[in-house]
């Protein structure tokens, strides 16, 4: 069973996979088995101006996906761990960028800002779609600065 969770109405038409059709070739599914695709951003070759924000270019398709029923309640929903996946334009070379994410945002051409849960802490990292590398941001204030803020 698949559910969008929260107070939203149940939708029988949740996205559970992507089919990539190819000329003179058999179609290919993105995922080996169906999952709950919460969100996706498809490759953007030319940035399109928005009213206030610039849309950034990405050289990969991005997918926020729930692959397993982690809390074993027999429903795939936002209570389960969300994974961030990326693929090439034709669905090939699917990779997991991060597991157990809270959110992600495209912050520059081919750069993502990812908020991830790791060892019961929130980790923020920058991921480069071009190189496949990530750098964790140090967001922890020294104790002396934290105590100055509370005084």
70-104 confidence digits (pLDDT tens): 888 988 888 899 999 999 999 999 999 999 999 99
* Average per-residue pLDDT for the chain: 84
pLDDT tens track for 21-35: 989 999 999 999 989
- Buried (b) or exposed (e) across 115-145, using 16+ Cβ within 10 A? ebeeeeeebebebebeeeeeeeeeeeeeeee
The better pLDDT of the pair 142, 130 is held by 130
**What angle is formed at CA 108 by the lines to CA 103 and CA 113, rounded to 5 degrees?**
25
Torsion of CA 27, 28, 34, 37, to 10 degrees: -100
Q: Per-residue pLDDT for 4 more than 50?
A: no
């Amino acid at each position: 069973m698949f559910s969008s969770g929260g107070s939203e109405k149940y939708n029988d038409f949740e996205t559970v996979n992507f089919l990539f059709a190819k000329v003179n070739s058999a179609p290919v599914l993105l995922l080996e088995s169906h999952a709950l695709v919460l969100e996706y951003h498809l490759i953007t070759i030319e940035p399109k101006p928005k009213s206030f924000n610039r849309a950034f270019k990405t050289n990969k398709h991005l997918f926020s996906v729930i692959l397993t029923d982690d809390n074993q309640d027999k429903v795939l929903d936002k209570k389960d761990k969300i994974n961030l996946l990326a693929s090439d334009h034709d669905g090939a070379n699917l990779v997991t960028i991060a597991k157990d994410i809270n959110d992600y945002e495209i912050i520059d051409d081919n750069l993502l800002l990812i908020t991830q849960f790791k060892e019961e802490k929130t980790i923020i990292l920058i991921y480069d779609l071009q190189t496949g590398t990530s750098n964790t941001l140090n967001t922890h204030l020294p104790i002396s600065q934290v105590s100055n803020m509370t005084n």
